[in-house]
Amino acid sequence: MLHKMAAWMCVLLLLFVAITPEGCPLGWVQGPSSCFFFSQFGGTWADANAICKGFETKLAEPADEITFAFLAGHAASEHPLHSQFYLGGSDMFVEGVWEWSSTKTQVNPNHWEPGNPSDDNNNGDCLTLNAPLKELNDVQCTAIFAFICEAESGEPEQVVIG
């Protein structure tokens, strides 16, 4: 598993060599206030979190309606092979209290799929965006899903090769 993650890290590293005119690295998408990377591969929540942190970014944390709508719309239209994407929210620390990992602010309860969070997935402590439905879902953190990383415009740390 470590070799697979290292291989993906190398692939992602190549994305940071060029900057798009919008100020986001090549392969990233300019959102309302941040740059976003929509993975084309899956991993566990821990894998996704580690990959984002490895590039000094974080799993996406849509703090407002505009950003949430942007992420859901872009994921659904541009990445149809993946229906669910890990985001940076969880209730790992206090069961039933859903917070964004970096800010510790509460996840907007209006974005949940009907009947969620349910925790009927045997400890569904991690958060995914169900892109086609434009709603949030609680899942087991060991499930394999695509993910979305978030960086302020101009980030992540640029790599100079050579």
Q: Is the peptide bond before 114 cis (omega within 30 degrees of 0)?
A: no
Instruction: Answer yes or no: is 7 within a domain.
Output: no
> Which pair of tokens denotes residue 32?
């309302």
- Give pLDDT, residue 8: 46
Pairing type for strands 146-152 and 34-38 reads antiparallel
Residue of 128, 161, 154, 160 lying closest to 19 (CA atoms): 154
Separation CA 78–CA 110 (nearest Å): 24
Instruction: Answer yes or no: is 37 within a domain.
Output: yes
Instruction: Answer yes or no: is 60 within a domain.
Output: yes
- Give pLDDT, residue 9: 47
Question: Which residue range(s) make up the domain with 113?
Answer: 29-152
- Give pLDDT, residue 97: 92
Instruction: Answer yes or no: is 1 within a domain.
Output: no
Separation CA 89–CA 22 (nearest Å): 27
- Into how many domains does the chain fold? 1
pLDDT single digits (tens) 5-56: 444 444 444 444 344 445 898 899 999 989 999 999 999 999 999 999 998 9
List the CATH number of the domain containing 95: 3.10.100.10
126 pLDDT above the threshold of 80? yes
Quick one: CA torsion of 134, 139, 141, 142, rounded to 10 degrees?
-110
Instruction: Answer yes or no: is 157 within a domain.
Output: no
- Give pLDDT, residue 89: 95
pLDDT, average across residues 64-77: 94
Instruction: Answer yes or no: is 43 within a domain.
Output: yes
Q: Taking all residues of the chain, what is their mean pLDDT, rounded to a whole number?
A: 83
pTM to 2 decimal places: 0.81
